[in-house]
Amino acid sequence: MKYLITIVGPTAIGKTALSIDLANHYNCEIVSCDSRQFFKEMTIGTAVPSPEELALATHHFIQNKSIFDTYTVGNFEKEALLKIEELFQKNDYVVLVGGSGLYIDAILKGFDEFPTIDPSIRENVNLNYENLGIEYLQQQLETLDPIYFQKITSENPQTLQNPQRMMRFVEVCLGTGKPYSSFLNQKKNNRNFMPIIIGLEADRNVIYERINQRVDIMLNQGLLAEAQALYEHKELNALQTVGYRELFSYFDGDFTLSFAIEEIKKNTRRFSKRQLTWFKRKENTKWFDYLTDRNDIISYINQQIHNS
């Protein structure tokens, strides 16, 4: 049996430190599952593990891509599963760690498979969106897949305002002639490992204080200069992220520096709340306070291994 020891939780909770401790205990390697840490041009603002931390255990998928690369969660799923399979050849354990819920899910259970869509259809949908706005996408989805439209409206209405997601739904409908929902839940993705999922948590005030401290540390480390160097590429998808967007607004003259910093802290706190909401929905996750003794967490993991 192979075991994927998976560590989840909100930003700044201590996932990196725990992952290193567990990798050393089980003499294994770490697969990072943080979509912000893939990019080599972004170091300070994404809280990439320090050189000292990276030296303590072998990490994969840290700063392995460029902000100029097109890199999707589907690309990551394929690459990471191949790497995990390779690592299992020499060890029964791999540590998976990160705060990107969608990317964690991609590894643990995979996604529904969709046919390849003609690029011209994608281009046309994108053009219509630019000319007609989000309402065009909403109307198209309601017409082409009324069942899925109603499901989103009742269960996840904010998705209706997400142009990337909405364009994807519409292009699949137009490109296949079938409702987007007809491709969902077609088959189970088999995984040849058992996930043991560890969640780290703390009182909300503690999480928020840790986030505020981390932002201050990032600024002292040179976040402003890092964002300035990336400013000319601010339209790239990889840079549409907390910690950079706010400073770009400062460079644009829309924010004062002090306001931009407060916005980074506020938006990171909001992000951590969304992370917890996502991970708390996940079944079979054992939650520990972030100060829990490592031996207690290791005992729990060993118990899961023994019972499997």
| Region at 301 (left for phi over 0; alpha for psi -120 to 50; beta for the rest) | alpha
Q: For strands 194-201 and 3-8, give the pairing.
A: parallel
Question: What ranges in the chain are assigned the alpha helix state H?
Answer: 15-25, 51-56, 73-88, 101-108, 119-132, 134-144, 146-155, 163-176, 204-221, 223-230, 245-252, 257-280, 294-307
**Is 110 labeled as ligand-binding?**
no
**Is 115 labeled as ligand-binding?**
no
**Is 9 labeled as ligand-binding?**
yes
**Is 99 labeled as ligand-binding?**
no
Q: Report how far residue 188's alpha carbon sits from residue 249's, in angstroms, rounded to the nearest whole number.
A: 44
For residue 189, the tally of other CB atoms under 10 A from its CB is 13
C-alpha dist (Å) from residue 4 to 60, 147, 208, 279, 300: 14, 36, 29, 17, 14
**Is 121 labeled as ligand-binding?**
no
Give φ, ψ of 91 to 5 degrees.
-155, 150
**Is 188 labeled as ligand-binding?**
no
Is 117 exposed, middle or buried (CB count within 10 Å of its CB: 0-12, 13-18, 19+)? Answer: middle
Residue ranges of the binding site for substrate = 11-16
Residue ranges of the binding site for ATP = 9-16
Residue ranges of the binding site = 9-16
